[in-house]
Amino acid sequence: MHTRLASSYSRDEPHYRPENQAKVRANLRRLIMQTGSGRMLDIGCGAGFMIDLARDLFDEIHGLDPTRAMLDEVDVRNGKVTLHEGVAEHLPFADGSFDLVTAYSVFHHLADHRPVLAEAARVLRRGGMLYVDLEPNRLFWQAIAQVEKSHNDRLDEIDEIVGREIDAVLHIDDQVRSRYEIDPAVFRQAEYIKSELGGFDPAQFEADAIDAGLSTVSTTHEWFLGQGVLLHGDSPMSVEIVETHLRRLLPLTAPLFKYLRFEAQR
């Protein structure tokens, strides 16, 4: 699947939008205050989304991905970046090799995320950080599925924001088939935890991270329902107010956030 997507990935994926890149780069800069700017490993680096955001922040960056076509899209011209073709369950690095390990929109592609958590913990130095971002929030996925089920014969009554999310969450495999000629079954297997398991339970992920040898795990809920509409519409200044308010009301508002960010210290 990702071989088919490689050449257009950086153009088509929503997380390449400038506002999201700014948010992720700010997270990297914040984490550097804890880890230093020595060595970074990006697991599932794809076409280089994280590498591009971090290349001027670290002395040395390594990117690992199982898809050769994706690696061929990564810019390595500045000499700081070394690429490795391989899988995250078996990282080709010594214990304690990195200050920061990142995995952006990666863990939901795994059949089982626990071995990758263990490998990330192994290659991090003591005090190093794991940064996992843009992972599907199971409560959001469940809420969207419930809305479609309960309004199946009257979807025209639902706000267009919710309608778009129903298509994006529950019917994205059909869109991928029509656009890229990728079999929906292949797509679902390639995004197993998202498509088959419906995303992550943050409490379980935190427990799994602790079991893997990480500590002080924190979860941040990201991208509330309709945030993009406010950001690109008439109310961009209201985004921070709404986001702060919804986070204040957690856990009651947890189903309104589409994605999860995890940070854990070794």
User: What confidence tens digit (pLDDT) does each residue in 44-56 have?
Assistant: 999 999 999 999 9
**Can you tell me the distance from the alpha carbon of 169 to that of 175, in angstroms, rounded to the nearest whole number?**
11
| Three-state DSSP class for residue 135 | strand
Residue 178: pLDDT above 90? no
**Can you tell me the distance from the alpha carbon of 4 to that of 168, in angstroms, rounded to the nearest whole number?**
20
Question: Which domain CATH number covers 210?
Answer: 3.40.50.150
Task: Indicate whether 95 belongs to any domain.
Answer: yes
Residue 244: pLDDT above 80? yes
The residue range of the domain holding 15 is 2-137+193-224+257-265
Task: Indicate whether 38 belongs to any domain.
Answer: yes
pLDDT in tens, 146-177: 999 988 777 778 899 999 999 999 988 888 88
pLDDT in tens, 196-223: 999 999 999 999 999 999 999 999 999 9
CB-based contacts of 250: which residues, under 8 Å, 6+ apart? 221
Task: Indicate whether 71 belongs to any domain.
Answer: yes
Cis geometry, peptide bond prior to residue 236 (ω within 30 degrees of 0): no
pTM: 0.94
Residue 195 has which token pair? Answer: 């498509």
Task: Indicate whether 146 belongs to any domain.
Answer: no
Task: Indicate whether 177 belongs to any domain.
Answer: no
Residue 39 has which token pair? Answer: 């060595």
Number of Cβ within 10 Å of residue 237's Cβ equals 9
**Can you tell me the distance from the alpha carbon of 145 to that of 142, in angstroms, rounded to the nearest whole number?**
5
pLDDT in tens, 55-99: 999 999 999 999 999 999 999 988 899 999 999 999 999 999 999
Mean pLDDT of the chain: 94
Task: Indicate whether 175 belongs to any domain.
Answer: no
Task: Indicate whether 252 belongs to any domain.
Answer: no
* Residue 101 near residue 131, CB atoms below 8 Å: yes
Amino acid, single-letter form, for residue 136? P
Number of Cβ within 10 Å of residue 20's Cβ equals 19
Residues 176, 179, 181, 187: what is their CA dihedral angle, to the nearest 10 degrees? -10
Tally of structural domains, the chain: 1
Task: Indicate whether 8 belongs to any domain.
Answer: yes
